Amino acid sequence: MTTADLTPQEAARWALRAGLPLGADRLDAVTGAANHIQSVIATLRELNFEETPPAATYRPAPTETRPQTA
């Protein structure tokens, strides 16, 4: 799935919609961060976790305990 990059104007509109007015001096940085986050999410969506159990079911193997010496 590909999406177009967010423009600074769109970033300002989304921020305002969320109640976070964004100053013009921060638009480029916020837009770049948002686009990077979108690309990371897109990469994660491409990974195949079909046979990976949920983390809640993970049980580490017991490890051998050594007696502590003082």
pLDDT score at 5: 92
pLDDT score at 56: 87
Cα three-residue angle 20-38-42, rounded to 5 degrees: 155
Tokens 């305002």, residue?
Answer: 16
Q: Which residues of 26-43 are buried (b: 16+ CB within 10 A; e: fewer)?
A: ebeebbeebbeeeeeeee
pLDDT score at 4: 84
Helices 8-17 and 27-46, packing angle to 10 deg: 90
The model carries a pTM of 0.64
Query: Average pLDDT for consecutive 10-residue bins of the chain (70 residues)?
Result: 81 94 93 95 90 84 72
Kindly report the backbone phi and psi dihedral angles of residue 27, in degrees, each rounded to the nearest multiple of 5, phi listed first: -60, -45
pLDDT score at 1: 44
